Amino acid sequence: KAGVTQTPRYLIKTRGQQVTLSCSPISGHRSVSWYQQTPGQGLQFLFEYFSETQRNKGNFPGRFSGRQFSNSRSEMNVSTLELGDSALYLCASSQAGTGGLAQYFGPGTRLLVL
């Protein structure tokens, strides 16, 4: 089975712009979660989607949003980018339900905001 894929892998944006990141989960996985990884704050939970619905949300401002499509693929969007948004954005997928809790991460999208 193919793993979690994320596109693009690298991105450079300037302050004030917006960005959309994409995640394709492992085939058959219905839950997709997003995390932000920075040297200072570590790995922080952004949100989780299941069956196109946001089930959980972390403590991030409303500039961070996401969605999930009927094929379980997910996108996250960051509007009005700030320098502090520079980070590795990781997507993880899980079978969910009786399939288990294990989350499998993709390689991440590295975002640099100038």
Partner 1 sequence: GENVEQHPSTLSVQEGDSAVIKCTYSDSASNYFPWYKQELGKGPQLIIDIRSNVGEKKDQRIAVTLNKTAKHFSLHITETQPEDSAVYFCAASSPDSSYKLIFGSGTRLLVRP
Nearest-CA neighbor of 2 among 24, 34, 32, 21? 24
Q: How many residues bind partner 1 (CB under 8 A)?
A: 24
53 binds partner 1, rule: CB under 8 A? no
Torsion of CA 15, 41, 5, 82, to 10 degrees: -10
Q: Is residue 95 within the footprint of partner 1 (CB under 8 A)?
A: no
- The 8-class DSSP code of residue 26 comes to P
By CB under 8 A, is residue 31 in contact with partner 1?
A: yes
* 26 is a site residue for partner 1 (CB under 8 A): no
Rounded CA gap, 41 and 4, in Å? 24
60 binds partner 1 (CB under 8 A): no
| CB closer to partner 1 out of 44 and 86 | 44
